[in-house]
């Protein structure tokens, strides 16, 4: 193949990549930072994610969700990294934990109103890592349940049950903040009005 | 629909994950139930606050230069040809990971070292870049001259120091540059700052040196270096300054000297593990060692050469104990020794010691 053609292709590929993929850099970094809790690790992960994405950009189908594709790569790198560092896999204890939570959270707390950004983040931080991951992917990144299942490599049913419990636990935490500050609960206000 | 059932599926409703029929049931229930309407509004608000918190939280904002770094890193990666063998691919992955970040570097470095120790080295594929300026690649190898041959003899020491000190973190006799400048060689003073001044590569290359990572003096198999480490395209690059001189009058030095008298950068890679580029300065030789492509490595050497040559010309002249005092092409091959350090003569062939452990 003539060199100029290869250069042209590379230039086109970079142009498309810059338009389609790079705009997601900031949200991908925030996701990585939230999940890893370490800025250097998050930067490394994002850097490697985009390098791998550019290398295999020809496999990306235009029109599909590029952010989901990037997050899949990020998640894959995170899994590899965890395995490599021989850390205790964070998801291994989720089964037991979820069962415990399911038992202790039979009561469904009403959702408080007037919660601040800081309080939401503080409440989220108190959740188990796998629950945070599910909530961030669903409610912040707004991926569909099916996309989350593909990103995390778990069955759709597991995504749904994990999210259900994670959100319930988050509401419980938020209700604690609301009680402490005397913020009204949505249901209570609706009844009184 | 009961309120209890609604609360169970309210989040799926907000995420638009319900079947059409269930959706209709939810809507019908909401028309008649103010409590569930309020609950739904509150949950929607929590999501909104969460998204906005993520977008605005100071602690979650990326560094201003992250986008540029990602661009450079990704482009540099694409410029590399794919490794042709499985072993080469494994090595490349390990090396990439080894220097991708401080948090994983040590463990990865151990992994890389074990792989190398297992005899996996040597399979790296030479990585080429795009075209560079002609003068940069004019001198491919300095072996045709006595000076060149002497440089080639020192090159394995530089490569060995890069491997032992930079990649494996096991330098012999690590000394801070300032202290080393007092004890061994005044040119080591401020060496890192001199290299830091020249971080920009020639215009035709697509990236620049990211940062000076470290500066110190260390020893490999008896030869002392002033060692400045750079991080470039996610790889570690060593700039190694060492005493260097030859006694015999060279007849072929023109090949290493440009028309303007400046000493040229030459490639002196001696095996497949590392690319080594070198250039002379008064009483010293400078080696640039990395596992980047040959062109890339040469480009870095070229970029740091002017200020280093100037620095070595100024401070090297203060070095009183040389056999000659920097008289053009007349060089003394005897190494400078100090009272507390004896530097052996350079052997004709150098056998690099295999790594023995972390």
Determine the straight-line distance between the first and last CA of chain B, rounded to whole angstroms: 65
- Report residue B170 as tokens: 């096991």
At residue B185, does pLDDT exceed 60? yes
* B177 in the same domain as B105: no
| Within-domain flag for B338 | no
One domain for residues B75 and B175: no
Higher pLDDT, residue B296 or B358? B296
Domain that holds residue B24: 3-60
Q: Which of left, alpha, beta for B357 (phi over 0: left; psi -120 to 50: alpha)? A: left
For residues B157 and B148, the answer to whether their CB atoms sit within 8 Å is no
Band of the pLDDT at B321, cuts 50, 70, 90? very low
Average pLDDT estimate for A121-130: 88
Closest residue in B to A116 (Cα) is B49
Say yes or no: B303 and B185 in one domain.
yes
Residues of chain B contacting residue A145, judged by C-beta atoms under 8 Å apart: 15, 17
Asked if residue B250 belongs to a domain, the reply is yes
Mean pLDDT across A27-47 = 87
Any domain includes B352: no
Mutation choice for B interface testing from A50, A85, A145, A173 by most B CBs within 10 A: A50
pLDDT at A138 over 90: yes
Instruction: Enter the pTM of the model.
Output: 0.48
Q: What is residue B342's predicted lDDT score, i.e. its pLDDT?
A: 35
Q: How high is the pLDDT of residue B288?
A: 92
DSSP secondary structure letter of residue A90: T
Alpha-carbon gap, residue B79 to B81, rounded angstroms: 6
The number of folded domains in chain B is 3
| Mutate: best of B70, B77, B79, B93, partner A, most A CBs <10 A | B70
Is the predicted pLDDT of residue B260 greater than 70, yes or no? no
- Which helix H or strand E contains B241, and what residues bound it? strand B235-243
Q: Are residues B154 and B291 in the same domain?
A: yes
Q: Which residues of B touch A48 (CB under 8 A)?
A: 96, 100
Examine the domain organization and report whether B110 and B217 are in the same domain.
Answer: no
- The answer to whether residue B82 sits within a structural domain is yes
- Please check whether residue B323 lies inside any domain of the structure: no
Lowest mean pLDDT segment, chosen from A95-104, A181-190, B250-259: B250-259
Q: Answer yes or no: is pLDDT of B217 > 50.
A: yes
Q: Is residue B47 part of a domain?
A: yes
Identify whether residues B252 and B179 lie together within a single domain. yes
Assess if residue B337 is contained within a domain: no
The full set of domain ranges for chain A reads 3-84, 94-192
- The question of ipTM being above 0.85 is answered as no
Confidence of residue A102 (pLDDT cuts 50, 70, 90): low
The last residue of a domain, from among B12, B45, B60? B60
pLDDT of A107 over the 60 cut = yes
Q: Which of B37-51, B154-168, B191-205, B212-226 has the lowest mean pLDDT?
A: B191-205
Domain end position, chosen among B20, B38, B60: B60
Domain at A3-84, CATH from 3.90.870.10, 1.10.1740.10, 3.90.226.30, 3.40.50.720? 1.10.1740.10
Report yes or no: B4 at the A interface, CB cutoff 8 Å.
yes
Q: B235-243 and B266-267: which strand pairing?
A: unpaired
Contact B108, B115 (CB under 8 A): no
Query: B41 and B172 share a domain?
Result: no
User: What's the pLDDT at B338?
Assistant: 34
Among B76, B62, B109, residue whose Cα is nearest residue B210: B76
- Taking the CB of residue B207, how many other CB atoms lie within 10 A of it? 19
Nearest to A112 among B42, B53, B97 (CB): B42
CA distances from A18 to A12, B61, B79 (A): 10, 20, 16
Position B322 scores a pLDDT of 37
The better pLDDT of the pair B115, B342 is held by B115
Gap between the Cα atoms of B145 and A127, Å rounded: 69
By mean pLDDT, which of A3-7, A21-25, B268-272, B330-334 is the weakest?
A: B330-334
At A100, list the tokens.
Answer: 């415990």
Lowest-confidence range among A163-177, B93-107, B305-319? B93-107
B322 within a domain of the structure (yes/no): no
Q: DSSP class of residue B265? A: P
Q: What is the pLDDT of residue B261?
A: 42
- Are residues B155 and B258 located together in one domain of the fold? yes
Spell out the CATH class of A94-192. Answer: mainly alpha
User: Which pLDDT belongs to residue B298?
Assistant: 82
Per-residue confidence (pLDDT) for residue A85, from 0 to 100: 60
Each residue's pLDDT tens digit, A74-96:
988 888 777 666 544 444 444 45
Residues B230 and B90 in one domain: no
Assess whether pLDDT exceeds 60 at residue B111.
no
Q: Which residues of B touch A29 (CB under 8 A)?
A: 60, 62, 66
Residue B54 and residue A136: Cβ atoms within 8 Å? yes
B275 shares a domain with B234 = yes
């Amino acid at each position: 193949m003539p060199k100029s053609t290869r250069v042209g292709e590379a230039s086109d590929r970079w142009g498309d990549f810059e338009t389609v993929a790079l705009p997601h850099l900031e949200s991908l970094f925030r996701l990585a930072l939230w999940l890893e809790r370490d800025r250097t690790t998050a930067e490394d992960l994002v850097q490697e994610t985009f390098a791998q994405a550019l290398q295999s950009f020809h496999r990306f189908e235009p029109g599909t969700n590029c952010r989901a594709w990037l997050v899949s790569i990020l998640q894959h790198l995170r899994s590899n990294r965890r395995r490599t560092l021989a850390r205790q896999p964070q998801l291994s204890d989720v089964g037991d934990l979820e069962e415990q939570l399911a038992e202790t959270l039979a009561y469904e707390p009403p959702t408080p109103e007037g919660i601040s950004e800081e309080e939401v983040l503080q409440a989220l931080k108190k959740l188990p890592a796998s629950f945070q991951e599910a909530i961030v992917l669903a409610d912040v990144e707004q991926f569909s349940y099916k996309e989350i299942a593909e990103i995390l490599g778990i069955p759709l049913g597991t995504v749904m049950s994990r999210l259900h419990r994670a959100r319930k636990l988050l509401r419980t935490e938020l209700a604690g903040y609301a009680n402490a500050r005397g913020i009204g609960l949505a249901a209570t206000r609706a009844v009184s009005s | 629909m009961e309120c209890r059932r609604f609360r169970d599926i309210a989040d799926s409703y907000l995420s638009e994950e319900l079947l059409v029929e269930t959706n209709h049931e939810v809507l019908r229930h909401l028309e008649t139930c103010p409590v569930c309407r309020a609950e739904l509004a509150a949950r929607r608000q929590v999501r909104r606050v969460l998204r906005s918190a993520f977008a605005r939280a100071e602690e979650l904002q990326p560094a201003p230069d992250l986008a540029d770094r990602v661009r450079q890193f990704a482009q540099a990666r694409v410029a590399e040809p794919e490794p042709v063998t499985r072993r080469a691919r494994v090595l490349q992955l390990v090396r990439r990971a080894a220097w991708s970040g401080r948090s994983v570097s040590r463990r990865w470095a151990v992994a890389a070292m074990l792989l190398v120790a297992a005899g996996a080295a040597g399979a790296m594929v030479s990585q080429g870049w795009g075209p560079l300026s002609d003068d940069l690649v004019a001198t491919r190898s300095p072996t045709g001259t006595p000076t060149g041959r002497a440089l080639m003899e020192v090159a394995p020491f530089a490569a060995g120091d890069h491997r032992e000190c930079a990649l494996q973190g096991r330098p012999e006799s690590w000394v801070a540059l300032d202290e080393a400048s007092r004890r061994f060689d005044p040119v080591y003073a401020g060496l890192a700052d001199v290299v830091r001044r020249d971080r920009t590569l020639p215009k035709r290359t697509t990236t620049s040196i990211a940062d000076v990572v470290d500066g110190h003096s260390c020893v490999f198999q008896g030869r002392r270096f002033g060692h400045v480490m750079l991080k470039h395209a996610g790889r570690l690059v060593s700039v190694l300054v060492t005493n260097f001189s030859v006694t015999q009058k060279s007849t072929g030095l023109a090949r290493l000297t440009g028309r303007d008298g400046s000493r040229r950068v030459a490639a002196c890679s001696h095996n497949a593990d590392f690319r080594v580029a070198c250039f002379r300065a008064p009483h010293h030789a400078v080696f640039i060692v990395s596992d980047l492509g040959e062109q890339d490595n040469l480009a870095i050497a070229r970029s740091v050469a002017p200020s280093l040559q100037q620095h070595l010309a100024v401070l090297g002249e203060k070095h009183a104990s040389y056999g000659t005092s920097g008289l053009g092409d007349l060089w003394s091959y005897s190494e400078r020794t100090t009272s507390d350090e004896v530097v052996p003569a350079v052997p004709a062939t150098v056998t690099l010691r295999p790594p023995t452990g972390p």
